[in-house]
Amino acid sequence: MRSNFSIVPRAFVLIVALICSADAAEDPLPSWNDGVSKKAIVAFVAKVTDKDSPDFVPVPDRIAVFDNDGTLWCEQPMYVQAVFVRDRIRAMAADHPEWKNQQPFKALLDNDRIALADIGEKGLVEIVTTTHSGMTTEDFSLLVRNWISTAKHPRFDRLYTACIYQPMVELLTYLRANGFKTYIVSGGGAEFMRVWTEPVYGIPPEQVCGSSVKTRYELRGDTPVLMRLPEVDFVDDKAGKPVGIGKFLGKRPIAAFGNSDGDYEMLRYVTSGKGARFGLIVHHTDSEREYAYDRESPVGRLVRALDEAPTRGWTVADMKRDWRVVFPAAK
C-alpha cells in the first residue's frame, strides 16, 4: 500500500508539472494579459505560419517593422536621444564659451523652456548636427555607448535601456521564433540606436533603419573612416518611414507596430499590401506605471492613427488593460 500511496502523489505532481510546462510553452507572451490585443497577435502569427492556411506567408516575406520611441521603449518626458543631445551640448560647452550668448545653445544650457520652444526646425538641426557630426562613425558610436551605459530615466531611476517594454520584447522574440525578421524603422538616429539595439532587443545594427546625417569616406593616415558631416541625409519619420522601408528593405513588410501619428504612413503602407497584414498601435494609457498621453502630447502625438484604427483594422494595445507588466524586472 505504501508504494501505491507514494505513486499517486508523484503521478499527480508529474501531471501538474506537465500541464504547467505546457502552459508556459504555449504562452510566449506572458506579460500580455489575455484579451483582444493578445488574441489578435497570436491569431495573426498562427495563420501566416500555417502552411494549410490561405493566409500562409513564406519565411522570406515575414518581415515586421517596429517604431522605437514610445513603441519599444519609453519616450517621456522627452525623447532619449534629446537627452543625449542636451548632455552632449553641456559636455561640449566648456570648449564653446560663445554658446553662453548664442541661440539655440544658450536656451539648452540655461534649460530655458520658453526659448527652447522657439528654436524651430533650424535650431534643432543646428543642435543635432553640432553634436552628431565632425567625428567618425566609430567615435560617435563610442560616445553613445559610454552615455547609454550610465544615463538613467529621471522618474524611474533605471537605465534608459531598462525602460523598454517587456511585452514588446516578448513580441519581438515571439515573432522571430516564428520565422520573422524584426526591423526597427524609427525617426531616431540610426547610429544612435545601432549601438545598443542588439543586446537590448535582439535586433542587429543592419536591421535598424533611422534618420541619418551624410557621411564621407576619408583616410586617417592609412586607415579609411567614415566622417559624419553636419548635413541631414534622411529623416525617417511620417511619410519618410515608408520611403525608408523602400530604401532599406525593398519590399512591403507584413506587420507594423507604432504608437504615434509619426507611424501613420508606415501603418498604412504595410497594412495595405496583399495577403494577411497586421498593424498595432501601443496606446499609452497608464499614468501610474508609465505615462498616459495621446492627442495633446508634444511627444508621441496620436490622433489620426487612433481615430482610423478601427476602420483600418489596426489593433490598439491599451497599456493599462493589456500589459501585465510594463518594464522588465529589475536585475
Alpha-carbon distance of 99 to 95, in angstroms, equals 9
Comparing CA positions, the residue from 313, 136, 150, 293 lying closest to residue 226 is 136
Asked if residue 265 binds a second copy (CB under 8 A), the reply is yes
Q: Which of 212, 259, 260, 285 binds a second copy (CB under 8 A)?
A: 212
Amino acid code (one letter) for 167: P
- Fill in the per-residue mask, 270 to 309: x = in contact with a second copy (CB under 8 A), - = not in contact: --x-------------------------------------
Q: Which stretch binds a second copy (CB under 8 A): 6-14, 32-40, 261-269, 318-326?
A: 261-269
Q: Which stretch binds a second copy (CB under 8 A): 5-13, 27-35, 220-228, 313-321?
A: 220-228
Under the binding rule (CB under 8 A), the answer on residue 145 touching a second copy is no
Contact 108, 116 (CB under 8 A): yes
Quote the CA–CA distance of 301 and 148 in Å, as a whole number: 25
Please identify which residue in 39, 96, 145, 251 interacts with a second copy, judged by CB under 8 A: 251
Choice between 159 and 226, CB closer to a second copy: 226
26-85 residues near a second copy, rule: CB under 8 A: 60, 63
CB of 292 to a second copy, least distance (A): 30
**DSSP type of residue 270:** H
Q: Does 232 bind a second copy (CB under 8 A)?
A: no
Q: How far apart are CA 186 and CA 188, in angstroms?
A: 5
d(CA 116, CA 111): 8
Count of chain residues binding a second copy (CB under 8 A)? 36
**Contact call for residue 260 and a second copy (CB under 8 A):** no
Kind and range of the H or E element at 327? none
Query: CA torsion angle for 261, 266, 268, 272 (degrees, to 10)?
Result: -170
Q: Output the CA torsion 133→136→138→140 (10° steps).
A: -20
Of residues 156 through 185, those in contact with a second copy by CB under 8 A are 181, 183
- We find the least distance from the C-beta atom of residue 263 to a second copy, in angstroms, to be 13
Q: Does 246 bind a second copy (CB under 8 A)?
A: yes
Q: Please, what is the minimum distance in Å from the beta carbon of residue 225 to a second copy? A: 8
Q: Is the Cβ–Cβ distance between 209 and 186 less than 8 Å?
A: yes
Distances (CA, A) of 101 to 16, 33, 121, 256: 71, 53, 20, 44
> Contact positions toward a second copy, by CB under 8 A?
60, 63, 137, 181, 183, 190-191, 194, 198, 204-206, 208, 212, 215-217, 222-224, 226, 233, 239-240, 242-243, 246-251, 265, 268-269, 272
